[in-house]
Chain A
Amino acid sequence: METPYSTYIKAEFIETDTGNKVSRRSLISGSQNIVLGGKTIVHPKCTIRGDLRRAGPTHQASVLIGRFCSLGPYSVLRPPHKSYKGVFSYYPLKIGDHVDIGENSIIEAASIGSYVVIGKNCIIGRFAIIKDCCLIEDGAVVAPNTVVPPFSVVAAGPPAKVVSHLPESIQEVFEARSKDNYAKF
């Protein structure tokens, strides 16, 4: 019932000085535009597209990820793009702390809050805004431009709808879960 210990081959993961554990088999492009908060785990075959960034003179981060996050294997994190008044540009993807992204999920949201758990095989559409303390169930397809309010459970196929609400203590539960997951990795 508690999270089991998972082991990994030492050589497969790069551990940074802030405690991030990044798999060597993950597909990271544009790593200078990606900011990982401390103690985040990037599993093998996870794709992070830091190269899709707004064309601008300054050095801008296109993917910002918080602490104690876990990016599952085969997941894809892409900054969303839009054509506004004839100008095509990418917008930054911001992810908060304690976010657990399941395997094989495609994330193209504009921002994801803290303490969010995203299940496996999910598709988060462009410019979706997921607020804090949410749970996205496995296989949910969140339509573009949706706003997922805090403490909601979102499920099922397009467009994913809010099916129920989470208890108030869910922030501590998710926080303990992500810290536990990191500690046992």
Chain B
Amino acid sequence: MSSASNTLISVLYHCPCNGATQSPGGLDTGVRVNSEGEEAVVPNASSNSELEAQLKLPLQPNSELLVLRASAIENLYYCDDCSELRCSRCVIEEPAGYHCPNCLFDVPTASVRSEKNCCARNCFQCPVCTHMLSVVETDTETRPFSFACSVCYWDSREIGWEFEKATGISPQIEAIKASDQQAKEYTSLLEYWRTVYRISATSAPTSTLGGHSVGGALKSRFGLSSGLAGNSASTAVIPPYQAAGYMDTDHTRVSQRMNIENVDTVPPLSADLTSIEPQRIRLHMKLARRCRSCHHILIKPESKAQATRFKIQLMAANFLPTITLPNRLSPKTPVLLPEMPLRVGKTVPLVLRFANPLYSEMRVTVAACAPEQDSHVEVVAQQFVLAPFTELWEYDEDEDEDSDGSSSGERSAGRQRGIVDRQGNRVAIQLNLTPKAVIDNLTVPLFVTCTHQDDMDMDTDAPASAPAGGDSSRRTVTNKFWVYISLGPTVQ
């Protein structure tokens, strides 16, 4: 699959959203849209030349914003209620299920909160290389299992984690951690302050400030005089805290660390590796996406972690024509891609192929932007009709390519000027491109308008108002969007 030579060539579709807020009116009604100083005005011009003269680009081709606003059609969505293109910035994302990326186990939403977004089963990360740890058998007789990393060969025995059973690692880790000095201290401290709070809350209900009672407990601990607060007469006497494992030598270490002024003597991380523990692996989220303006669901995945199907999937490629630059039409016809790199001043024919994904006919109008300093594009075929997509075409195509010599003659018999080829639901049109300046990445903007009749019934629950004519259930849907075609560098 040689795609290396074609990585510079891409077709990007521009989404006219503002990112955070939806652009008012869009392009259909001809409202002036102010998006960061650039305007897109589309009047209802009947003829294409008027349209071309009045079109203004939403974004200059060499603008850096193009990366954010325009993307390939695979990344774009389409809201069929609004009949608008949606990009990943103008959709609302919401979680549709959580799963662990290691064990692919679906985690119910309630457990997500309680487990702090981590996997509760045996999924841990290696502290050295953050790879996933696996439970292996070791040679020791008591506690034969431990964690091992298959990349850096770190073993959990280095920090003293050894297990008796291969399954149910979580409670075994809890048991190990409970004997840890710091954890013991922490739990006893928590208990102490909880009892203090409980006693102070019950013993002084009349005090206006609850803090005074707690101050009483503080004073009794540190041995301060009780002359500061007046109304602490009703506090019960709380015994001072007994440290579970706190040693006086720790005090000097802590104060030393708190008073660090010079960081030269701090040892690097690798020296402290024996105390780093493996962390649990964080959960992944499956996202459902909604249109920002009408809250219609665009993407709804299946809730099972392993399923890659979607209950609802409204992708732009299923509604808007896909534009590609074909290499050649068939093995026997010549190569259509112009010679790279493009030369300034030399007019090359550029062939674009439009593919219609819908089951109804689509009428497409292509307009090039007004000539600018980078290049001049002449669109030969400005309006054409794309046949609907039928699954039968997929099977017929194999035969078409075998016998292309005879059938291309028939195809070209009734063709419009500028249409190079017409095959099933795809049409290849020709543009004449003349680069005018030497630039790093020549981008050709095109304005595409596509119209089709939508046969879908809008109101299924209004049978009484079904029209006698039957035609008003169809509606004409028009989509207008800008396409930026990148063609790589130009040379003199």
Interface residues of A (CB under 8 A from B): 1-5, 7, 70, 72, 100, 102, 115, 125, 131-133, 143-147, 149-152, 158-159, 161-162, 167-173, 177, 181, 183-184
Contact = CB atoms under 8 A, between A and B. Distances in A.
B456 interface: no
A171 B308 contact: yes
A169 B315 contact: yes
B75 interface: yes
B397 interface: yes
Interface in B287-316: 299, 301, 305-306, 308, 310, 313, 315
A108 B74 CA distance: 31
Contacts of B284: 149
Given A4-B2, A100-B1, A168 B325 contact: no
B132 interface: yes
Nearest to B131: A159
A141 to B, nearest CB: 9
B9 A168 contact: no
A120 to B, nearest CB: 10
Nearest to B310: A168
B244 interface: no
Contacts of A152: 101
Interface residues of B, number: 45
A147 B1 contact: no
B327 interface: yes
Top 5 A-B pairs ranked by shortest CB distance? A4-B327, A1-B325, A159-B131, A169-B315, A149-B101
Contacts of A183: 397-398, 401
Contacts of B195: none
A149 B104 contact: yes
Nearest to B337: A1
Interface in B427-470: none
Contact of A2 (B104, B151, B325, B398): B325
Contacts of A184: 331
A34 B212 CA distance: 80
Contacts of B103: 147
A158 B151 contact: yes
Contact of B1 (A5, A143, A181): A181
A170 to B, nearest CB: 7
A159 B131 CA distance: 7
B327 A168 contact: no
Please report whether the interface of chain B is mostly helix, strand, loop or mixed according to DSSP.
loop
A153 B6 CA distance: 20
Contacts of A143: 131, 150-151
A102 B1 contact: yes
B220 interface: no
Contacts of A162: 101
Interface in B236-278: none
Nearest to B5: A4
A173 B131 CA distance: 30
B308 A169 contact: no
A4 B308 contact: no
Contacts of B130: 159, 161
Nearest to A183: B398
B313 A168 contact: yes
Contact of A147 (B132, B301, B315, B326): B132
Contact of B74 (A4, A115, A149, A167): A167
B172 interface: no
A150 to B, nearest CB: 5
B365 interface: no
B1 A1 contact: no
Contact of B327 (A2, A100, A158, A159): A2
Given A145-B150, A168-B299, A169-B315, A131 B324 contact: no
B131 A5 contact: no
Nearest to B10: A1
A23 to B, nearest CB: 16
B129 interface: yes
A133 B313 CA distance: 15
8 contacts: A1-B6, A1-B10, A102-B1, A131-B306, A144-B150, A158-B151, A159-B151, A167-B88
Most chain B beta-carbon contacts within 10 A, residue among A1, A70, A144 = A1
A170 B1 contact: no
B308 A132 contact: yes
B104 A151 contact: no
A167 B2 contact: no
Most chain B beta-carbon contacts within 10 A, residue among A100, A152, A173 = A173
B102 A150 contact: no
Contact of B150 (A125, A150, A171, A172): A125
Contacts of A169: 74-75, 313, 315, 317
Contacts of B411: none
Contacts of A132: 308
Contact of A131 (B3, B104, B331, B353): B104
B328 interface: yes
B366 interface: no
Contacts of A125: 150
B104 A1 contact: no
Contacts of B315: 167-169, 172
A24 to B, nearest CB: 21
Interface in B131-162: 131-132, 134, 150-151
A24 B299 CA distance: 45
